[in-house]
Amino acid sequence: TDLGRRFAERKRCADPECSMLMCRGKARQDFKGPDCRFVNFKKGEAVYVYYKLIGKSIELWAGSVGSDFGYFPKDLLEINHNYSNEELELPTDVSRLCYF
């Protein structure tokens, strides 16, 4: 297993494919990720969460802002709507690679 490509071994999702929305929130502040695996957003933008990585010190969630999808630190999100109370724990796949 090459953890250099993954941020965590496990993730929590609302369904086995991690395709259902878990929750929606509002960005607490601007965020610009270090590379293309991250999603950038501005304070106040709506962020939709599809899964939550678990098992690492910095908790990253994965979600979308507009048509962009990527990771972001969960502490930057103020949750204002839960779509699902169901949380399944699943292994993570190798993270998407950056192509330039």
52 found inside a domain: yes
Residue 72: domain span: 13-85
Residue 18 lies in a domain: yes
> 53 in a domain, yes or no?
yes
How would residue 2 be classed by pLDDT, with cut points 50, 70 and 90?
very low
Rg (C-alpha) for the chain, rounded Å, is 13
- What is the number of structural domains in the chain? 1
Number of Cβ atoms within 10 Å of the Cβ of 29: 10
Whether residue 45 is contained in a domain is answered as: yes
Q: Is residue 81 assigned to a domain?
A: yes
Output the pLDDT for position 28.
98
Domain contains 95: no
Q: Answer whether residue 21 shows pLDDT above 60.
A: yes
Question: What is the per-residue pLDDT across 25-83, written as a single tens digit (0 to 9) for each?
Answer: 999 999 999 999 999 999 999 999 999 998 765 689 999 999 999 999 999 999 999 99
| 4 occurs within a structural domain | no
Distance CA 64, CA 40 (A): 9
Query: Residue 19 sits in a domain of what CATH number?
Result: 2.30.30.40
**What are φ and ψ of residue 18, in 5° steps?**
60, 35
